[in-house]
């Protein structure tokens, strides 16, 4: 939960700054911050990958197979497309209303847009699981900085509604971390190591595609790999390999 609490704090701070100072932050400054976060996320991804592969008994083929199967399943299920459609449908649903309801609509749009932005994505799921399983909240700390700047921009456009998205972050992101912590006893050290390897690759993909915008990658479609890799490890352990 530590990462979620940090994340919530930065959203609150960013919203307050957005309400007070609006859009005074120059676009070039925002781009520079995003680039720094992209490079830093790359470094974290490499470090996570190296930590996992250094574990005794780790087999790098298992994460590779998991990522390949996960990519196929993600493309089949169209995970990223479905997430985008959910966001678009909710935003369209709450964007309706006449002029008399303009202020209420603005509040709701701010709340819904911020909640979706902060809760839908690979970094949220991976970071929450990592925080719950290992207590390592580095990824959620990076997300916290991103969300802080995003909440500043959103609050300048939609107002106080952005602040209430913190409740969704606490329930959803915190719930994922708590669930992962409860399942921790079911995961062997090797499973955690292999999940770290997969997580490192997902972070690299996220940094390249979303933060640095070097190449479009449907990172969300790789998320099934997080569920597949512990199953493969279980199979290998049961077979005595």
Of the listed ranges 22-36, 84-98, 213-227, the least confidently predicted one is 84-98
In angstroms, rounded to a whole number, what is the distance separating the alpha carbons of residues 49 and 198? 7
In angstroms, rounded to a whole number, what is the distance separating the alpha carbons of residues 142 and 6? 10
Q: 3-state SS of the chain: helix, strand, coil percent to 5? A: 85, 0, 15
The string of pLDDT tens digits covering residues 130-157 is 899 888 888 899 899 989 988 888 888 7
Residue with tokens 């597949």: 228
Residue with tokens 């079911």: 186
The string of pLDDT tens digits covering residues 21-77 is 866 767 777 677 778 878 887 888 898 899 889 888 888 999 999 999 999 999 999
Of the listed ranges 37-46, 88-97, 218-227, the least confidently predicted one is 88-97
In angstroms, rounded to a whole number, what is the distance separating the alpha carbons of residues 162 and 16? 10
Per the structure, the complete domain to which residue 40 belongs is given by: 2-239
Q: What is the mean pLDDT of residues 99-113?
A: 66
In angstroms, rounded to a whole number, what is the distance separating the alpha carbons of residues 166 and 11? 7
User: Tell me, what's the pLDDT at 100?
Assistant: 45
In angstroms, rounded to a whole number, what is the distance separating the alpha carbons of residues 59 and 132? 23
Number of domains in the chain: 1
């Amino acid at each position: 939960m530590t990462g979620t609490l940090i994340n919530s704090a930065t959203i609150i701070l960013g919203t307050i700054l957005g309400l007070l100072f609006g859009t005074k932050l120059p676009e070039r400054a925002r781009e520079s911050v995003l680039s720094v976060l992209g490079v830093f996320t790359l470094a974290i991804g490499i470090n996570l990958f190296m930590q996992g592969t250094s574990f005794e008994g780790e087999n790098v083929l298992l994460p590779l197979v998991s990522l390949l199967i996960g990519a196929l399943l993600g493309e089949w299920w169209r995970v990223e497309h479905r997430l985008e459609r959910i966001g678009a449908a909710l935003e369209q649903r709450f964007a309706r209303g006449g002029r008399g309801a303009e202020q209420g609509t603005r509040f709701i749009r701010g709340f819904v847009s911020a909640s979706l932005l902060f809760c839908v994505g690979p970094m949220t799921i991976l970071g929450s699981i990592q925080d719950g399983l290992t207590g390592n909240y580095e990824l959620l700390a990076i997300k916290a900085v991103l969300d802080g700047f995003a909440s500043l921009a959103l609050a300048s456009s939609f107002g106080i509604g952005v602040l209430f998205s913190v409740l969704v972050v606490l329930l959803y992101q915190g719930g994922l971390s708590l669930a992962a912590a409860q399942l921790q006893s079911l995961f062997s050290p090797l499973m955690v190591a292999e999940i770290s390897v997969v997580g490192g690759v997902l972070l690299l993909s996220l940094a390249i595609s979303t933060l640095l915008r070097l190449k479009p990658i449907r990172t969300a479609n790789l998320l099934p790999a997080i569920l597949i890799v512990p199953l493969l490890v279980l199979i290998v352990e049961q077979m005595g390999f």
